[in-house]
Structure 1
């Protein structure tokens, strides 16, 4: 058995490196021409020798469409963003210091839209009970990027909110590629969204401290979207070490919540206190709560959807009856817990899932719950018992018990539940793929309730070869598909792309296929319905292209080749004589065969064609035999 604290996720990027990478990302964007209106002006600010030595003076002289470039330096002032004005600093090197005053940056009024840009600044030294660093209100919705928001303070650690950024009302700013570090407040030390539908993407939240809730972020009664962020070592005195959700229906998507986020009460990673949040595709790893929900805590009648998350190595640091649910705790709440892998949550009481309260009625389905101290557990005495629906889960090797408690015990082999080694294997993106070789085949494959497409997982995979899930959904966490690959082909050199899944797909473009450079992209994609008696040989894949101006290219005047290399073991009952390459006809919504040459000795399929779309190799199984391709022996 693996050590319970062996990390199975991504590495943490230190703050300095994170800032540097964010700077590079911003510079990559800034390297493109900035959109400036024909009548717009460019104003330059620097500490000495420029037309402006303060940002406020430049803002005062600016009008909508103007660009203000702020060169490296420390600017001790507070500013108010101006509608339509684009304000660019030099990432990491341009510092806007509140020097104990605040908010350092304000954006107020519904005239401030996404064309108002604030990018490339360090915002620090702010002090205010709301939005010490950045305050956004009254419908303002600017675009913020490439920021480092650090060392801002709300002062009072019980009443202050959003020391890094406070957003209220119907304001909907977009924040991306920014780092929030070492901000302190009562709630939402980095960001507090009060009813505001903020969009937070690609940011890093590190070592922010809240006296009460939301070490990094509080989302209060909002439809916010929080996606592709990282959360490391954020602390809440009570609830939500990384995120505290108070009502509303926000979406928490594809975040890495890893590494010593902690709460003095519940929800070391995420605390959901009411509402209908959608929590999907996240990695919740190595977080701690003193009481309930080391990974995720759900309470107060909440009904979230917790879908396709990797929840591992979380724990409870407290002792006694109030320390429950190292992975997930559900207390007096409902919701859907589906297709998660919940493993190695063992510190403290160590339940993979803890459920309590007569109003606790969650549906727990298609999960893999293994190697926690307990699997699924609830109270065994007291008379106030939950009534969960538990079906089609693999609950295995939880040493103190797989299913325990009133209305839980005895379901280990009922309602589609199994207790089998899921046979985890390491793949491109992590350690929790399911083995699917002929000699070592996971019982969790095709064992879930519902089709992969119906639960939104047909564009993800549990297989190391990257084939997307199809038909009956597999149990547990599904990884994203391998990234597409691209090459530039020209009239002089042509080009080759190679996709590797369980088969190897070579796409060969000769030099005469184009008259000017074209970028071609190929990637594994979701499947389409297939005729009865047919099976795919390898993945469904798409080929797309565009020219230097970004125009779509759908075909060529001369043909290119697709060569598919397969092993005998890949056939798995497919009649080799019936193999053919097909393309998906969007008009008829059906697969159409392409003239294909099959070399049974070399185990290759070859087709020549001149159009780009979605392709798949397939053949007949069993008694269905249709001899379409030319067979070369």
Structure 2
């Protein structure tokens, strides 16, 4: 079983490796195997299977397995440039995978002796897709970008998969988070509410047993506004100077009349209350924890008022005035060593 790995920028070339096929993964007479929640991106092979190569040896020594909730992106080079190449004597099930920017999405090169069963996979921007199977999604996964293959709010992968027994994603977050499983390695953890001008409301998200609450008071919006909270495993940007990431990041987005409002600002502050674990702040000065927002080029303190910190109980509250990507950071702890001088009496 291969679960929750990133397989990036590898090359299968006979001058470098023993075989010239399977840039990301080479499965020869393997089984039973299961690949879940992995990302295969930027790999190359001088022959077949730039992403994944699967083949059996004989009728009695074949390859048997399944690929579930993987993300396969832009693996190139070689004869075919396939995301998944299946050769002879193989039985392979492909479910809930994103396959994007390949010369060929999935190939069964030997249908006489091999069976490929595909369902609920997303195909996009491939030159050809000879195997799509049932319930395929042919639309944009809308990744974060820049090598970050988390899906965003506009992704066609959202709630488009089927329950295939995979209960967490590549970040360890629960599946499904919404009404159905997301396709690909990432399960987008989004919750929301509709804020009204004359009514207070709140968003509560619990990930890994830790709760974050966004409290929207009366008068925070001037018209009906849909607000969404999406937990993020990483920020995608470098940490601010002198600070380290404290394990919590999220997007807050606002929609009016179904259209996202960029740079949305509240009329009065809303309050974010965030709980964290000891492991999140290991090596950090807990009293220095700050919630920062990404302004497009740098991290900036998000507070538009005073912090309410409770270090003994592992939570803090902070008022914020606008929406963006947010993350919790803390200053690194430093130890001071004093010299010990021994004198002979």
Q: Which structure would you say has the larger RCO, counting Cα contacts within 8 Å and 6 or more residues apart?
A: 2
- Where in structure 2 are the equivalents of 1:6-85 lying within 5 Å? none
1:419 and 2:132 aligned:
no
2:255 — aligned with what? 569
Instruction: Choose which of 344, 349, 354 in structure 1 pairs with 2:85.
Output: 354
1:33 — aligned with what? none
In 1, the alpha carbon distance for the partners of 2:185 and 2:84 equals 16
- Contact 2:108 2:115 (C-alpha < 8 Å) held by counterparts: no
1:402 — aligned with what? 129
Q: Report the alpha carbon displacement of residue 369 of structure 1 after superposing the two structures with TM.
A: 0.9
Partner of 2:255: helix, strand, or coil?
Answer: helix
2:284 — aligned with what? none
Instruction: Choose which of 257, 270, 293 in structure 2 pairs with 1:604.
Output: 270
1:455 and 2:167 aligned:
yes
In 1, the alpha carbon distance for the partners of 2:253 and 2:29 equals 55
In 2, the alpha carbon distance for the partners of 1:390 and 1:565 equals 33
Q: Report the alpha carbon displacement of residue 391 of structure 1 after superposing the two structures with TM.
A: 0.9
Distance 1:527 1:569, change over 3 A: farther
- Contact 2:36 2:166 (C-alpha < 8 Å) held by counterparts: no
Gaps of 5+ in 1: 1-276, 318-322, 462-466, 482-500, 504-522, 529-534, 542-563, 574-599, 616-633
- Where in structure 2 are the equivalents of 1:105-144 lying within 5 Å? none
Instruction: Choose which of 18, 42, 46 in structure 2 pairs with 1:313.
Output: 42
Q: Report the alpha carbon displacement of residue 385 of structure 1 after superposing the two structures with TM.
A: 3.3
1:384 and 2:112 aligned:
yes
1:476 and 2:184 aligned:
yes
Instruction: Choose which of 98, 105, 124 in structure 2 pairs with 1:368.
Output: 98
Q: Report the alpha carbon displacement of residue 327 of structure 1 after superposing the two structures with TM.
A: 0.7
In 2, the alpha carbon distance for the partners of 1:314 and 1:565 equals 30
In 1, the alpha carbon distance for the partners of 2:230 and 2:152 equals 17
- Contact 1:458 1:468 (C-alpha < 8 Å) held by counterparts: no
* CA-to-aligned-CA distance 1:177-224 (integer Å, 9 cap, x gap): xxxxxxxxxxxxxxxxxxxxxxxxxxxxxxxxxxxxxxxxxxxxxxxx
Q: Report the alpha carbon displacement of residue 609 of structure 1 after superposing the two structures with TM.
A: 11
Gaps of 5+ in 2: 15-19, 57-62, 194-204, 211-225, 233-249, 260-265, 274-307, 317-345
Considering fraction of residues, name the structure with more strand: 2
- Where in structure 2 are the equivalents of 1:58-457 lying within 5 Å? 277-290=1-14, 291-317=20-46, 323-332=47-56, 333-348=63-78, 349-358=80-89, 360-379=90-109, 384-399=112-127, 401-403=128-130, 408=131, 412=132, 414-426=133-145, 430-436=147-153, 441-450=154-163, 454-457=166-169
- Contact 2:177 2:188 (C-alpha < 8 Å) held by counterparts: no
In 2, the alpha carbon distance for the partners of 1:385 and 1:289 equals 27
Q: Report the alpha carbon displacement of residue 477 of structure 1 after superposing the two structures with TM.
A: 2.6
Partner of 2:32: helix, strand, or coil?
Answer: coil
1:270 — aligned with what? none
Q: Give the alignment's TM-score, normalised by structure 1.
A: 0.30
Rg: which structure is higher? 1
Q: Report the alpha carbon displacement of residue 355 of structure 1 after superposing the two structures with TM.
A: 0.8
Partner of 1:357: helix, strand, or coil?
Answer: coil
- Contact 1:364 1:391 (C-alpha < 8 Å) held by counterparts: yes
Q: Give the alignment's TM-score, normalised by structure 2.
A: 0.51
Distance 1:307 1:284, change over 3 A: farther
Partner of 1:352: helix, strand, or coil?
Answer: strand
In 1, the alpha carbon distance for the partners of 2:253 and 2:42 equals 38
